[in-house]
């Protein structure tokens, strides 16, 4: 397809505007955007169930596509959700109720526009404050989760969305601080420069505190165990998603996995060195395919570790989670910021 | 109402009276909640324990419709009536705890039991009280019926061998073998489940 | 806990209920509109059908009201219209995970009425099955407890390892859960040849698994943090409320029917009973794990000391016809003599107590000389522990409710009977 796009570029006589529109649409809708995200979310769902099943002495999903270990289960679920009836509670606030899952997903996918996956094809918005912009956009998504609970007019949804709001505040701040401390250390907020400057040592070794803090905060922000508190099944049914059914439920459940994909992409770019060790290849294969495969590999490792924790942990109580957020994780993120400053001003790291 | 009771004293009394009951056998011991190590270490321990099972999976479940468990021969499954052995004493009808067994008259005007599988709880009281062993037992327990009427047997159906209708025909038969390392393992018996 | 149990008159109760109805209708309470009423259940909130009404102020529970009786099955009344044998499967049904101790209790009461005592081998077999059931019941309780905390591995491990003991019981009795193994005067079948060997293998495996259980569940920082200092039941409260079983022992009271009033083979066996002082959810979980260890000791000891001989009282064996005698001698399977269809114990009354998995169960049987009991009274441990919801939960956060529910191992069908 890349070849065709290049052909298109020639046909259009190097019309930069149209070229960038086509590439940008492809970037946002196909790879690494929407379609890739759906595939990744479905596979992540399957991988989570399979890994957890291994720990729990059982098989996990196996009935659909038996030969490949039930890998298509996620897609089957997606199809099932799409054909189920969507029930709208009579007392709900209909427009926010219907719009908020879609908007939450929109704002979770949008940061992709700032994040590169390869040196060859640049993201639609190539900005020198890409890191900050990506964080800013993805921070909007939780508002719609709160809106979901509010619009449902259900006690459990209400309690769930309150929990979400409380927890998001106490974990997004450490996440932002620890990610930005990497920006301080690398002296840049441009993803390309950040990746380039990890060619000697990946970010997680340069600033392990930031990695730990942002990984823990990522677990919470993407509703992973042990912080899966806003959807706690045994306490408040499904939290903000209680009243959703059919495709809407599929969307709101998939939201956590979509966010996990985006956050894991961000973590693998900032801490794991993105497409390194490939510095910059030539052409489509060397410059796009292989680097993005490396990025996907790193992203997969990060998200598999995140989903594996479901097998190990229960969930914290909300006050304990908030305490951990504000005392331990926040402190860790401050330490990471100080560490970055020491490294930069002590002259330990120096960028050309 | 309103009487002050010293519950502390009562509980003390209870424990002392128990001590008096069995003075030579002090059979209680205190479990103190352990002072656990630092939580970082315990986190790592929990995660490595989980990883251990990811690397070396130890499945305890069975791939059910494809593999079925072969129960021990004394397993209480569905059974049938051997009509020519039965003497029509109605003891099975009397003892059946869930009133699943009912006596009917056969063409020769003799009393014979029929069973309602929807009510049967597989306690085997009927089988055990039968003075002539007129029930032929099997280990089949996972039978499914289309409608309620199918579960009400008449004399003709109750004398048929349930093994003919075994739902897990063609499935691989597995036997449980107890094992020190893995609790138990499923061992294929080598024969396909061919309806008996 | 400001609940005053001293003097609640009927008038005050009426006023209270009126007030509650009004509050429910208006959606307000004494503190204005601060409280939200949540209905947990009644469709299977955890281990069975029950409803828990909680009033929360923000995230703090101010009042908790367990609403039991959704699975009330009139077991006591049903048994009055049945011959004695038919009640054996009936007492198994409510406490489905804990069947053998219940049948033992019923049969003990019946045997006292009939004036017979089972042969020693039957007593040992009963004890072994009761302890296998206790382990399975505790593992079920721990599994449910774990999923209440969101710890899905504890749930699956609980059920997975329970399979081991269920399968052992299957080897012994021929059924996986509803054994109906204990009959008046003995047991229904002798253990198979391979049984002691299989038990030993299974126990060794489980002992090897226990360290993993501790690492994954009890020592897990998240689980520990959820359980420590949660739902503290003090010693005098436990005595006052009449709590029983592991919950009582976790509050520091040394009481166990197996020690206080030994039945079956317990007075000949070597075992200890764990007691903890803290009385919180963590101590209750810990006591359950310790009890599993002790049950393993009991089973080992019972298999070691297992006497030979009959498994059915000679008075019953005498009533066998030649075919039954042949079956009994060849395959050690007890056939029922016809008299079982019309057991008529002499007039009188008898009580029996057992220590079931969740605590003490009391059986009281009155016979008027007819084939049906005149009265059968049965108090189950869960029924006695249900009151804990009202006293332990208020003051905690909503998220602590599942932790407390799980830690007291409450089983609604058993409580409702």
CATH for C99: 1.10.645.10
Q: In this complex, which of C59, C222, C400 lies closest to A226 when CB atoms are compared?
A: C222
Say if residues C123 and C264 touch (Cβ distance below 8 Å).
Answer: yes
Q: Domain of residue C147: give its range.
A: 75-385
* pLDDT-derived band at B23, boundaries 50, 70, 90: very low
A57–B53 CB contact, under 8 Å: yes
For residues A221-253, b (16+ Cβ closer than 10 Å) or e, as one string? bbbbbbbbbbbbebbbbbbbbbbbbebbbbbbb
Which of C253, C288, C322, C326 should be substituted to probe chain B, the one whose Cβ sees the most B Cβ atoms within 10 Å? C253
What residues contact C373, with CB distance under 8 A and at least 6 apart?
A: C79, C80, C84, C87, C365, C366, C367
What residues contact B98, with CB distance under 8 A and at least 6 apart?
A: B119, B120, B121, C89
The answer to the question of residue C391 being in a domain is no
The 3-state DSSP class for residue C7 equals coil
The answer to the question of residue C32 being in a domain is no
Structure tokens at A233: 């099944």
User: CA–CA separation, C122 vs C264, rounded Å?
Assistant: 9
Which of A223, A239, A314 should be substituted to probe chain C, the one whose Cβ sees the most C Cβ atoms within 10 Å? A314
Count of the separate structural domains present in chain C: 1
- What residues of chain B lie within 8 A of the CB of C83, using their CB? 94-95
The 3-state DSSP class for residue C316 equals helix
Q: Looking at residue A287, what DSSP letter applies?
A: I
- What residues of chain A lie within 8 A of the CB of B47, using their CB? 309, 312
Q: Which residue of A has its CA nearest to B57?
A: A54
Exposed, middle or buried by CB within 10 Å (0-12, 13-18, 19+), for C109?
buried
Say if residues C62 and C394 touch (Cβ distance below 8 Å).
Answer: yes
Q: Which residue of B has its CA nearest to C176?
A: B75
Nearest-10 crossing angle of helices A94-109, A246-270: 30
Q: In this complex, which of A51, A57, A59 lies closest to B63 when CB atoms are compared?
A: A59
Q: Looking at residue A86, what DSSP letter applies?
A: P
User: CA–CA separation, A219 vs A308, rounded Å?
Assistant: 11
Tally A–C CB contacts below 8 A. Answer: 75
A62 reaches B (C-beta below 8 A): yes
Q: In this complex, which of C146, C220, C225 lies closest to A320 when CB atoms are compared?
A: C225
Peptide bond into A32 cis (omega under 30): yes
Q: Which residues is C147 bridged to in the sheet? A: none
The 3-state DSSP class for residue B114 equals strand
The predicted structure's pLDDT at residue A335: 92
A312 reaches B (C-beta below 8 A): yes
Q: Which residue of B has its CA nearest to C6?
A: B2
User: CA–CA separation, C247 vs C402, rounded Å?
Assistant: 16
Structure tokens at B125: 């009281």
**Domains of chain B, with CATH numbers?**
79-161 (3.30.70.3270)
Say if residues B114 and B101 touch (Cβ distance below 8 Å).
Answer: yes
Q: Are strands C273-275 and B28-30 parallel, antiparallel or unpaired?
A: parallel
The predicted structure's pLDDT at residue A291: 83
Structure tokens at A347: 């002259």
User: CA–CA separation, B121 vs B130, rounded Å?
Assistant: 17
C38–A232 CB contact, under 8 Å: no
Say if residues C255 and C242 touch (Cβ distance below 8 Å).
Answer: no
User: CA–CA separation, C405 vs C64, rounded Å?
Assistant: 12
B94–C341 CB contact, under 8 Å: yes
% helix, strand, coil for chain C, step of 5: 50, 15, 35
Q: Where are the beta strands (DSSP E) in C305-372?
A: 348-356, 359-367
- What residues of chain B lie within 8 A of the CB of C196, using their CB? none
Smallest CA–CA distance, residue A206 to chain B, in Å, is 22
Q: Are strands C359-367 and C373-379 parallel, antiparallel or unpaired?
A: antiparallel
pLDDT, tens digit only, all 417 positions of chain C: 444 544 456 666 667 666 666 555 545 555 556 677 778 877 776 777 888 888 887 778 888 888 888 888 888 888 888 888 888 888 888 888 888 888 999 999 998 888 888 898 888 999 999 999 999 999 998 988 888 888 888 888 988 888 889 988 888 888 888 888 888 888 888 888 888 888 888 888 888 888 888 888 888 888 888 888 888 888 888 888 888 888 888 888 888 888 888 888 888 888 888 888 888 888 889 899 999 998 998 899 888 888 888 888 888 888 888 888 888 888 888 888 888 888 888 888 899 989 888 888 899 999 888 888 898 888 888 888 888 888 888 888 888 888 888 888 888 888 888
The predicted structure's pLDDT at residue B16: 66
Q: Looking at residue C397, what DSSP letter applies?
A: B
User: CA–CA separation, C295 vs C163, rounded Å?
Assistant: 16
Q: Which residues is C349 bridged to in the sheet? A: C366
Structure tokens at C72: 């009330």
B50–A62 CB contact, under 8 Å: no
Higher pLDDT, B42 or C2: B42
User: CA–CA separation, C42 vs B106, rounded Å?
Assistant: 48
Q: Which residue of B has its CA nearest to A52?
A: B54
A51–B54 CB contact, under 8 Å: yes
Q: Find, among A323, A337, A309, the residue nearest to A170 by Cα.
A: A323
The predicted structure's pLDDT at residue B1: 45
Say if residues A181 and A133 touch (Cβ distance below 8 Å).
Answer: no
In the block, which residue shows the tokens 């990060």?
Answer: A302
Name all chains with 3 or more CB-CB pairs below 8 Å to chain C.
A, B
C139 reaches A (C-beta below 8 A): no
Say if residues A234 and A140 touch (Cβ distance below 8 Å).
Answer: no
Share of residues in chain A with pLDDT > 90 (%): 3
The answer to the question of residue C39 being in a domain is no
User: CA–CA separation, A107 vs A147, rounded Å?
Assistant: 14
Q: Which residue of C has its CA nearest to A313?
A: C151
Q: Find, among A100, A239, A233, the residue nearest to A157 by Cα.
A: A239
Say if residues C67 and C354 touch (Cβ distance below 8 Å).
Answer: no
- Its sign, for the CA torsion A33, A39, A43, A46, is positive
Structure tokens at C122: 């039957």
User: CA–CA separation, A216 vs A134, rounded Å?
Assistant: 19
In the block, which residue shows the tokens 């166990």?
Answer: C256
Q: Looking at residue A326, what DSSP letter applies?
A: I
Show the CA angle centred on residue A249, arms to residues A244 and A251, nearest 5°. Answer: 135
A327 reaches B (C-beta below 8 A): no
C209 reaches A (C-beta below 8 A): no
Helix (H) or strand (E) holding C287: helix C281-305
The predicted structure's pLDDT at residue A124: 81
Kindly list the domain boundaries of chain A, sorted by start residue. 89-345
Say if residues B166 and B140 touch (Cβ distance below 8 Å).
Answer: yes
Q: In this complex, which of B32, B128, B182 lies closest to C188 when CB atoms are compared?
A: B128
Q: Where are the beta strands (DSSP E) in chain A?
A: none
For residues C242-266, b (16+ Cβ closer than 10 Å) or e, as one string? ebbbbbbbbbbbbbbbbbbbbbbbb
Say if residues C213 and C157 touch (Cβ distance below 8 Å).
Answer: yes
Show the CA angle centred on residue A335, arms to residues A332 and A338, nearest 5°. Answer: 155
User: CA–CA separation, A19 vs A31, rounded Å?
Assistant: 16
Name all chains with 3 or more CB-CB pairs below 8 Å to chain A.
B, C
Q: Which residues of chain A have pLDDT under 50?
A: none
B181 reaches A (C-beta below 8 A): no
What residues contact C330, with CB distance under 8 A and at least 6 apart?
A: none
Helices (H) and strands (E) in chain C, counts: 18, 9
Q: In this complex, which of B42, B125, B181 lies closest to C219 when CB atoms are compared?
A: B42
C156–A310 CB contact, under 8 Å: no
- What residues of chain B lie within 8 A of the CB of A52, using their CB? none
Q: In this complex, which of A59, A308, A313 lies closest to B59 when CB atoms are compared?
A: A59
C342 reaches B (C-beta below 8 A): yes
The answer to the question of residue C395 being in a domain is no
The 3-state DSSP class for residue C208 equals helix
Q: Looking at residue C108, what DSSP letter applies?
A: H
Q: Which residue of A has its CA nearest to B47?
A: A312
Q: How far apart are the first and last CA of chain C?
A: 29
Q: Is the pLDDT of residue B194 over 60?
A: no
The answer to the question of residue C28 being in a domain is no
Helices (H) and strands (E) in chain B, counts: 6, 8
B58–A51 CB contact, under 8 Å: no
Q: Find, among A21, A60, A47, the residue nearest to A304 by Cα.
A: A47
C82 reaches A (C-beta below 8 A): no
C154–A314 CB contact, under 8 Å: yes
A58–B61 CB contact, under 8 Å: yes
B50–A59 CB contact, under 8 Å: no
User: CA–CA separation, A232 vs C227, rounded Å?
Assistant: 17
């Amino acid at each position: 397809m890349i070849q065709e796009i290049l052909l298109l570029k020639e046909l259009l006589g190097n019309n930069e505007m149209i070229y960038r529109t086509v590439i940008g649409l492809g970037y946002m809708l196909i790879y690494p955007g929407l379609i890739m995200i759906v595939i990744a979310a479905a596979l992540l769902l399957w991988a989570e169930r399979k890994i957890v099943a291994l720990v729990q002495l059982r098989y996990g999903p196996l009935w659909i596509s038996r030969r490949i270990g039930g890998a298509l289960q996620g897609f089957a679920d997606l199809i099932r959700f799409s054909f189920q009836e969507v029930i709208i509670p009579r007392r709900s606030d209909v427009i926010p109720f219907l719009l908020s899952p879609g908007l939450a997903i929109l704002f979770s996918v949008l940061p992709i526009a700032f994040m590169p996956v390869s040196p060859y094809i640049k993201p639609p918005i190539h900005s020198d404050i890409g890191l900050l912009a990506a964080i800013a956009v993805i921070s909007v998504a939780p508002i719609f989760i709160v809106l979901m609970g509010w619009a449902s007019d259900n006690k459990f949804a209400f309690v769930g969305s309150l929990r979400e709001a409380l927890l998001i505040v106490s974990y997004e701040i450490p996440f932002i601080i620890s990610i930005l401390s990497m920006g301080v250390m690398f002296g840049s907020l441009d993803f390309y420069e950040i990746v380039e400057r990890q060619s000697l040592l990946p970010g997680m070794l340069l600033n392990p505190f930031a990695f730990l803090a942002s990984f823990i905060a990522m677990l919470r922000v993407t509703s992973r165990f042990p912080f899966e508190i806003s959807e706690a099944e045994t306490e408040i049914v499904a939290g903000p998603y209680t009243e959703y059914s059919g495709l809407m439920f599929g969307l709101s459940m998939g939201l956590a996995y979509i966010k996990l994909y985006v956050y894991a992409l961000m973590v693998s770019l900032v801490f794991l060195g993105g497409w390194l060790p490939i510095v910059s290849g030539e052409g489509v294969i060397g410059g796009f395919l292989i680097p993005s495969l490396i990025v996907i590999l790193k992203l997969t490792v990060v998200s598999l570790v995140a989903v594996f924790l479901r097998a190990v942990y229960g969930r914290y109580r909300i006050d304990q989670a908030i305490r951990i957020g504000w005392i331990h994780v926040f402190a860790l993120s401050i330490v990471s910021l100080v560490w970055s400053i020491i490294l930069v001003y002590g002259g330990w790291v120096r960028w050309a | 109402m309103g009487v002050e009771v010293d519950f502390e004293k009562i509980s003390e009394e209870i424990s002392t009276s128990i001590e008096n009951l069995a003075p030579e056998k002090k059979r209680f011991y205190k479990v103190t909640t352990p002072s656990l190590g630092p939580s970082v270490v315990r986190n790592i321990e929990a995660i490595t324990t989980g990883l251990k099972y990811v690397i070396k999976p130890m499945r305890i479940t069975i791939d059910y419709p494809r593999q079925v468990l072969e129960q021990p021969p004394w397993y209480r499954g569905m059974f049938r009536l051997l009509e020519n052995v039965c003497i029509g004493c109605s003891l099975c009808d009397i003892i059946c705890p869930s009133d699943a067994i009912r006596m009917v008259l056969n063409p020769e005007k003799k009393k014979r039991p029929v069973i309602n599988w929807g009510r049967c709880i597989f306690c085997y009281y009927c089988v055990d009280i039968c003075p002539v062993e007129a029930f032929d037992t099997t280990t089949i327990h996972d039978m499914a019926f289309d409608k309620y009427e199918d579960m009400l047997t008449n004399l003709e159906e109750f004398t048929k061998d349930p093994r003919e209708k075994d739902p897990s025909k063609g499935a691989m038969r597995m036997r449980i073998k107890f094992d020190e390392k893995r609790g138990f393992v499923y061992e294929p018996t080598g024969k396909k489940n061919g309806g008996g | 806990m400001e609940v005053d149990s001293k003097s609640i008159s009927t008038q005050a109760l009426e006023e209270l209920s009126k007030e509650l109805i009004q509050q429910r209708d208006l959606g307000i309470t004494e503190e204005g509109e601060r409280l939200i009423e949540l209905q947990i259940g009644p469709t299977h909130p955890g281990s069975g059908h029950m409803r828990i009404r909680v009033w929360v102020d923000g995230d703090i529970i101010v009042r908790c009201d367990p609403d039991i009786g959704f699975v009330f099955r009139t077991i006591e009344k049903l048994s009055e219209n049945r011959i004695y044998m038919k009640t054996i499967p009936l007492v198994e049904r409510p406490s489905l995970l804990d069947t053998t101790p219940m049948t033992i209790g019923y049969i003990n009461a019946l045997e006292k009425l009939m004036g017979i005592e089972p042969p020693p081998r039957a007593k040992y077999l009963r004890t072994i099955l009761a302890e296998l059931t206790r382990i399975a019941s505790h593992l079920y309780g721990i599994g449910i407890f774990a999923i209440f905390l969101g710890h899905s591995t504890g749930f699956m491990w609980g059920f997975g390892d329970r399979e081991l003991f269920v399968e052992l019981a299957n080897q012994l009795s021929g059924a996986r859960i509803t054994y109906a193994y204990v009959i008046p005067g003995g047991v229904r079948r002798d253990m198979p040849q391979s049984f002691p060997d299989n038990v030993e293998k299974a126990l060794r495996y489980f002992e090897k698994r226990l360290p993993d259980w501790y690492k994954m569940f009890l020592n897990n920082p998240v689980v520990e943090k959820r359980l420590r200092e949660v739902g503290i039941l003090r010693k005098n409260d436990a005595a006052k409320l009449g709590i029983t079983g592991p919950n009582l022992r976790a509050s520091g009271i040394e009481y166990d029917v197996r020690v206080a009033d030994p039945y079956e083979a317990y007075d000949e066996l070597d075992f200890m009973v764990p007691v903890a002082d803290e009385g919180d959810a963590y101590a209750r979980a810990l006591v359950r794990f310790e009890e599993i260890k002790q049950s393993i000791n009991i089973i080992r000891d019972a298999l070691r000391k297992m006497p030979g001989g009959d498994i059915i009282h000679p008075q019953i064996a005498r009533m066998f016809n030649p075919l039954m005698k042949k079956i009994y001698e060849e395959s050690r399977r007890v056939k029922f003599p016809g008299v079982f269809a019309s057991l008529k114990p002499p007039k009188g009354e008898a009580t029996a107590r057992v220590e079931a998995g969740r605590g003490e169960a009391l059986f009281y049987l009155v016979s008027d000389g007819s084939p049906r009991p005149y009265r059968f009274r049965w108090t189950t441990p869960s029924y006695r522990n249900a009151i804990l919801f009202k006293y332990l939960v208020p003051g905690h956060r909503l998220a602590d409710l599942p932790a407390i529910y799980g830690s007291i191992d409450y089983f609604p069908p058993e409580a409702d009977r």
